[in-house]
Structure 1
Amino acid sequence: MGQHVSVCIPRWIDIPGVKNFRDIGGWPLKDGSGYIRERIVFRCGHLVDITQKGIETLNRLNVIAAFDFRSDPEIERQGVMPQIKGLTRYPSAMFTEADYSPAALATRWKGYFEGATGFPKVYAVILEKGAPQYRKIFLHLIENHSITSTKSIIVHCTAGKDRTGIFGMLLLGLCGVDDEVIANEYALSNLGYWEPEHELQRKADMLNVTINDMRMVMSAPYLAMKETIRQLKEKYGSIEDYVRQECQLTSNEVQRLRDLMVVPIRFEERQLFRPKI
């Protein structure tokens, strides 16, 4: 009989003081030719409250860079991560001060309140405004990492689900992971990120909405990512076309990124199952 090759890694990693920390690697490619390299790209919520034990874990994971998608208003409110030896924080905000005007905020919040059908409206804005920052991360990976390196990076925003989730979708999709798998990976943030009920109620009261509205804002609906991918492909043709057009990566850079991120699975002829004739 044929042999089945599978990859099993601890996806969730306990980093005290950090929510939603997980490895983006290990997912299979749609065509079965490989899987995403593990222990090279991690995603999470903000690192402001990381503990010393958490820092020690990041050191063991050899994290050399943290790309912070948070905007200035978020950083002013939450603070910045502590300095960690050997780790460089790269400010990577995609929203400007104008994007925090009452009108702009109202539009974004309305999209979240609409649930799975509204999230893609917000994500379309992230895809538009985030391309330069996504490009920066893609190039960092190409220029600073190799298949023999043990260095890794973190990408994060506040919760590690929206701006970070779109980056994860682009990277996985560019490498050939199936849309269904990408949407399921995105939805894992429903397990990794949470806020106490009293905090949700406080925010709901502040915005004059219900606590269920706030629960929806904090969620990561599988169908929202599925629809986001569908709309992206409808507009650009493919995830690669988006990356080449909006992130301005060349064909060579796209291939180098794939070579870095994909671990090929090679089968010998004797491993293939052939029924008797």
Structure 2
Amino acid sequence: MLTYERLIALDGASNVRDLGGYPTTTGGLTRWRSILRGDALHALSMTDINVLVDHGLTTVIDLRNPHEIAEQPNPFMDHEQVRYANIPLFSALGPVEMIAGQSANFDMGERYCQALDDCQPAIAKVLTAIARAAEGIVLFHCTAGKDRTGVIAALMLANAGVDETVIIEDYALTGSISGRLLAELRVRAVARGMPVDRVDLVLASAPHSMAQTLKHLARRYGGIGAYLTGIGLSQQEITSLEQRLCF
């Protein structure tokens, strides 16, 4: 029986990890080497790229904004074997640094709930792209692999029947495995003039932030199935998303 590591060891990225191996309500486990979530890929070495392709990578979905990509280009944009798509996810939201600066009690869970409400066309586009992707591994990513990536990962896992406790644990992993990356992002944010305490709020991977998001999904929308239908996914696409993670 094959065994897999959740974190994909790469020199140029700190938070590329597998959504496989999580228990589902049907008694099974989510599929390994089908869906990966990640942070920015611009620093990947050629060896890193080959590792991902050798694992079976066929699709990369970049959730960053155009100005982020201009500063840190994606190495898969022109790759011969991997289809690349850029779908900016949080464009409908205000800059997180500005919003965090308006309230001492700001929590990233508020932003994720707002994303579920205000970024539905982009979320639908991302999930449709995953549902319709070619056979092989799909990797979606943003900059830290925590916020935009975290929202999509939570929806994917919920649709696959993974328990909320496990979804929250998956979200919180960024805080325990991406210390170097988060430290770099912290330095950059402070250099832009953002107060240290607000930076720490924005970069946190607090379990309660994802718990708040999942409660919002249930209370406002009636759960994952109703949400996906409400944002325009067909039943075939919803089933395809589930099959991406379930045997």
TM-score w.r.t. structure 2 length? Answer: 0.87
Question: Are positions 1:34 and 2:28 aligned together?
Answer: yes
Runs of 4+ in structure 1 off by over 6 angstroms are: none
Amino acid across the alignment from 2:220: K
State the match for 1:178 in structure 2.
Answer: 163
1:17 counterpart residue number: 12
The one-letter code of the counterpart of 2:141 is H
> Which has the greater radius of gyration?
1
Unaligned 5+ runs, structure 1: 1-5, 264-277
Instruction: Give the whole-Å Cα distance in 2 for the aligned partners of 1:257 and 1:99.
Output: 25
Question: Aligned in 2, Cα 1:166/1:199: closer, same or farther, shift over 3 Å?
Answer: closer
Contact 1:108 1:122 in 2 (8 A): no
Question: In the TM superposition, what whole-angstrom CA distance separates every residue of 1:218-262 from its partner, at most 9, and x where no partner exists?
Answer: 22111110111011211001011111102x112333233323421
Identity %: 24
Say whether residues 1:88 and 2:83 are aligned partners: yes
Q: Which moved more, 1:76-85 or 1:57-66?
A: 76-85
8 A Cα contact 1:68 1:157, kept in partner: yes
Answer yes or no: is the 8 Å Cα contact 1:63–1:152 preserved in 2.
Answer: yes
Amino acid at match of 1:245: G
Structure-1 separation of matches of 2:57 and 2:101 = 33
* Matched letter for residue 252 of structure 1: Q
TM superposition score normalised by structure 1: 0.78
Match for residue 217 of structure 2 among 225, 229, 232: 232
Q: 1:200 aligns with which of 183, 186, 199?
A: 186
Deviation of 1:58 (Å): 1.1
- CA RMSD of superposed structures (Å): 2.6
For residue 35 of structure 1, report the CA deviation from its aligned partner. 1.7
- Equivalent residues of 2:100, 2:198 under 8 A apart: no
* Residue 124 (structure 1) shift: 2.0
Asked if 1:126 is matched to 2:115, the reply is yes
Aligned residues: 245
Match of 2:99 among 97, 104, 107: 107
Q: Rate the CA distance shift 1:208–1:48 in 2: closer, same or farther, 3 A.
A: closer
1:181–1:13 CA distance, 2 compared to 1 (3 A):
same
Match of 1:63, as an amino acid? L
